[in-house]
Amino acid sequence: MSQRLSSTLVDAFMQFCQGNFAYRLPRTYARDDADTEAFFFNSVAAELERIVMDARRQEERLREVTERLSAALLRVAAGDLDVRLERDGKGDAVDVLLYLVNNTIAELAHLVRERERAAALEMERLNQLVEARTAQLRELAVTDALTGAMNRRRLFEVAEAMHAESERYGRPFGLAMLDLDRFKRINDEFGHAVGDRALELVADVIRGQVRATDKLGRYGGEELTVLFPETRLEAAYEAVERIRKSVERAGLVHGGRRVKITLSAGVVEYAPGEPLLALIDRADAALFRAKSAGRNRVERG
């Protein structure tokens, strides 16, 4: 028989739901049920607070880097080719982006200084190089480095555009939230490198199952989002069900052991007048039902 959660624990989780991630239960260290409950809740709370704070710091970092990039590119456009962007040396996608920007600006400076008296044909070639580099930088700025999917910022931009088009012209629009099942266990049992490979594999499977017009984005962590323009609920559901089955068949092998990979998903269709965030919330709710019903399944929202 299942046991009810204590009112203290329920109140603590309500604090989480209200955004108070720093909330902790007091400890008595009496080693009774209440103290054990407080210990486990506080451990989970500390990890969740860390994840939230890391996400906020990353979001702030991306915002700050975007502002610096914009300012630097404006200076370059005005003819200042001596501008350089300070790097933090973390070696992640943002740091690589800054490295490429600095290299691009340096290359431009070299070309301008070496060929400032060049003919119109050479100037045209230089313009083409700038355009190509700029396109590359734009692509890096909106792409998730691990999965190759759209990053969260770009995902919302594309989703908002599709939503606006559906709202304006009355066209169908499907959205699916997909989440790897027991992803933490994969990381704990096989290591984070295998967890990364699992995410890459799932992203590749999704790309192989959807149309060129469908868009894949990384919503956060092990959660992915697929946008289905011009698609009704049942068609989107069938597409995601094919993805689920393909992921289940794929799997990974690590150290002679098979790494079982499954996913759960929630699929919804835009309802006229429905805000985008409400649509995403419905998809999240359907995903939660899929998880609650045993995982490795797709639920309609």
- Does 71 reside within a domain? no
- Does 68 reside within a domain? no
Q: What percent of the chain has pLDDT over 70?
A: 95
Please identify, among 141, 160, 175, the residue that sits at the C-terminal boundary of a domain. 141
100 and 180, same domain (yes or no): no
Closest among 281, 272, 269 to 168, alpha carbons compared: 272
Of residues 136 and 10, more confidently modeled = 10
- Does 42 reside within a domain? yes
117 and 246, same domain (yes or no): no
Which range among 42-46, 136-140, 278-282 shows the weakest confidence by mean pLDDT? 136-140
Torsion of CA 103, 108, 114, 117, to 10 degrees: 180
> pLDDT value at position 1?
44
163 and 232, same domain (yes or no): yes
Of residues 300 and 47, more confidently modeled = 300
118 and 167, same domain (yes or no): no
- Does 162 reside within a domain? yes
> pLDDT value at position 52?
80
Q: What is the domain count for the chain?
A: 3
**Of 97-101, 110-114, 272-276, which one has max mean pLDDT?**
272-276
149 has pLDDT over 90: yes
Which range among 14-18, 98-102, 134-138 shows the weakest confidence by mean pLDDT? 134-138
Torsion of CA 180, 184, 189, 194, to 10 degrees: 50
- Does 73 reside within a domain? no
157 and 286, same domain (yes or no): yes
- Does 146 reside within a domain? no
Domain that holds residue 238: 152-300
Which range among 89-98, 120-129, 280-289 shows the weakest confidence by mean pLDDT? 120-129
Which range among 124-128, 273-277, 297-301 shows the weakest confidence by mean pLDDT? 124-128
222 is catalytic: yes
pLDDT, tens digit, 9 for 90 and up, residues 193-227: 999 999 999 999 999 999 999 999 999 999 999 99
160 and 241, same domain (yes or no): yes
32 and 158, same domain (yes or no): no
Task: Give me the CATH number covering residue 167.
Answer: 3.30.70.270
Q: Which of 47, 60, 122, 222 is catalytic?
A: 222
157 has pLDDT over 90: yes
Which range among 31-40, 158-167, 252-261, 276-285 shows the weakest confidence by mean pLDDT? 31-40
> pLDDT value at position 3?
61
135 has pLDDT over 80: no
The pair of structure tokens assigned to 27 is: 């400890």
Q: How far apart are the first and last CA of the chain?
A: 30
Parallel/antiparallel/unpaired status of strands 298-300 and 263-269: parallel
- Does 242 reside within a domain? yes
122 and 237, same domain (yes or no): no
135 and 170, same domain (yes or no): no
230 and 208, same domain (yes or no): yes
pLDDT, tens digit, 9 for 90 and up, residues 169-185: 999 999 999 999 999 99
pLDDT, tens digit, 9 for 90 and up, residues 58-96: 778 778 878 887 887 888 788 887 888 788 777 777 777
Q: What is the mean pLDDT of residues 12-32?
A: 84
166 and 268, same domain (yes or no): yes
- Does 38 reside within a domain? yes
121 has pLDDT over 80: no
133 and 164, same domain (yes or no): no
